[in-house]
Structure 1
Amino acid sequence: MSKPHIAGDQHTHHDHHDHDHSHAHDHAGHDHSAGAHSHAPSVTEANEKRIRLVFLMTAGYALVQAIGGWMSGSLALIADAGHMVSDAAALLLALIAYRVAARAPDALRTYGFHRVRVLAALANGAALLLLVAWIAWEAIARFRSPTTVLAGPMLIVAIIGLIVNLTGAYVLLRGNQSDGNLRGALLHVLGDLLGSVGAIAAAIGIMLTGWTVLDPILSVLVAVLVVRSAWGLVSDSIFILLQGTPKGLDIKVLEADIASLPGIAEVGHLHAWTLTDESIVATIHVTPQPGSDPLALPGLVVARLKDRHAIAHATVQVDPPGGIQKPCADGSC
């Protein structure tokens, strides 16, 4: 089993080598400072408990809402019940992800299992998008062939749902919002909250006017509101999995900042990506100025990346003067 990386890893490489985009490194002579290092934030037990509580509330009310929607003939309730079932499954997936993410790194997965949380967040968003498509399909069918809706029972069930969702949102809002899984769970609950509001509005409207078409109309409106949040969750998760540069981090500005440090002649091959949630990882090559101490550069660079750019873990390679090969414009060299 491999040893976990050490806090503020400073990887120095003094052997000259040809460098291409495969980024092959000679890992001899690593300089590690003391103290255990975790590549990703620890799984928050409080967040796990909050999601577990909301899961039980969501799953229990989904059953009540499904029965109420079937008895009243309300698409708004049925759609929202489907939403609740989807949310309960997504919350269960998030809980499983927490357990998996808590496992220690091993020789094959040296970064640990925290990316499982990103996968769970992606699954949450994808489930929401599928649910939106189903609601839209059912609403079109209702427009073509309106059905009878019992507004009284519909209103009672919707009000209960509103109370449940408000409670769930309150529980999750008090958690750590830097946790992608918790944010995903909160988005699900807020979507359910909008569904309950829509169902209440539809029930009152039907009671006052007798227009049963209000039921599918409001269902579609809720779906439109949900799709924006769901797409944001999906796109953010995919961006992390593709190892995109973290939002708000300008690579050119960062390179210029590192190049301004004393003793550094050249900077190149800077890569930064999000490991999970708020944890940023980076690799960078530097060359020393004549007369400067190469062994002092990694600690200097790591400190600047951490203090000014919130990069939790950096690997710094020191190349001989002229050893940093600039990439070609077409990326072929």
Structure 2
Amino acid sequence: MDHSHGRDSDRHAGHGHDVSVDADRRWLTITLGLILAYLVGEVAVGLLAHSLALLSDAAHMLTDAAAIILALAALRVAARPAGGAYTFGLRRVEILSAQVNGLTLLLLAGWLTFEAIGRLVTPGDVAGGPVLGVALVGVAVNLAATWAMSRANRASLNIDGAFQHILNDLYAFVATIVAGVVVLVTGWGRADTIASLVVVALMLKAGAGLLHASGRIFLEAAPDGLDPDDIGAAMACRPGVSEVHDLHIWQITSGEPALSAHVLVHPEADCHAVRVGVHAWLRDNHHIDHTTLQVDHLSAEAHRTPAQSDPHCAAPHGTTHYAATDPC
């Protein structure tokens, strides 16, 4: 039997990952500086102009700054090596960060909705000129911030969470510009409130998406695009393989799929050669490099049909794939 763990290529991946993390930190820090520099002025003008749209933008930008700080902290913590009880290290801290970012978007959307309903019932006087001017500057700042964030690795759910905050803020400023023009031309103050509700809808969409994606990782769901049944059936068709069961596919963190399985091979097959072949096939065809394969010989008297019990696992779970029955 062979209980080997296929992880060869990871020994050569550390340096490139460190370079990527350093670059991500640099772009996140640049974005944070842009946002903080603009935030103070926007709050002051929003209070003077009595603009809910500007104040909602400022509140959102405050969460942007918090999201980036959280993402930076998560990058640092996740870089710590595995050890002790944390055998995978602390890389899932990045997913916690993404989940917090998604939750803050939803909570902020709820607060802004409450404020907007009050403003729709009793609209205040909104100074369209300052609103428009600050929003135009805000678009420029957020375009620069969005460009900087786009240079970071958005395959990371942690960084994408911070990026969604920045992108939604850009949408908010565009809506605020429209509201400022309407207020200047028509004097209709409720346009400012309606602009904030447009931003709320975008926040809800982005926040729900982040919670859904991070929740799938915490619940050990297979990554999008990797169907366990299809992969299990194809593994059972590999040379020498008789059966595949107890197959699990999950993500350690975003962009790091992992797989474990119990593989039974024909009595005359070479367990080690089969494991190496299956690992290479998973890496080359599905980009799964972190694989743990328990490979055992199927004894000559143990041939069975899918309806028979499995003597190898006391409590098997998941679909069992047989070379004799699955289409190859």
TM-score by length of 2: 0.87
Distance 2:154 2:229 in 1: 29
Alignment correspondent of 1:112: 89
Distance 2:31 2:9 in 1: 41
1:216-295 matches, within 5 Å, as 216-295=193-272
CA contact (8 A) 1:62 1:85 kept: yes
CA contact (8 A) 1:66 1:78 kept: yes
1:176-187 matches, within 5 Å, as 176-187=153-164
CA contact (8 A) 2:245 2:316 kept: no
Asked if 1:312 is matched to 2:302, the reply is no
CA contact (8 A) 1:286 1:324 kept: no
- CA distance 1:161–1:34, change in 2 (3 Å): closer
1:59-74 matches, within 5 Å, as 59-74=36-51
1:71-90 matches, within 5 Å, as 71-90=48-67
- Kindly state the Cα deviation for residue 59 of structure 1 after the two structures are TM-superposed: 2.0
1:83-98 matches, within 5 Å, as 83-98=60-75
TM-score by length of 1: 0.86
Cα RMSD of the aligned pairs, angstroms, is 2.3
1:1-333 matches, within 5 Å, as 12-13=2-3, 36=11, 44-321=21-298, 322=302, 323-325=311-313, 327=316
Bigger mean CA deviation after superposition, 284-293 or 39-48: 39-48
CA contact (8 A) 1:286 1:317 kept: yes
CA contact (8 A) 1:77 1:199 kept: yes
Bigger mean CA deviation after superposition, 233-242 or 290-299: 290-299
- Kindly state the Cα deviation for residue 56 of structure 1 after the two structures are TM-superposed: 1.6
- Kindly state the Cα deviation for residue 41 of structure 1 after the two structures are TM-superposed: 5.5
CA contact (8 A) 2:244 2:262 kept: yes
Q: Which runs of 5 or more structure 2 residues have no equivalent in the other structure?
A: 303-310, 320-328
Q: Percent identity?
A: 36
> Any idea what the Cα deviations from partners look like across 1:262-313, whole Å, max 9, x if unmatched?
1111111110101111111110111110211122222121111111111120
* Partner SS for 2:2: coil
> Any idea what the Cα deviations from partners look like across 1:192-239, whole Å, max 9, x if unmatched?
101111111111100100100111111101111221122111110111
> Any idea what the Cα deviations from partners look like across 1:53-85, whole Å, max 9, x if unmatched?
111211221221111110000000001100000
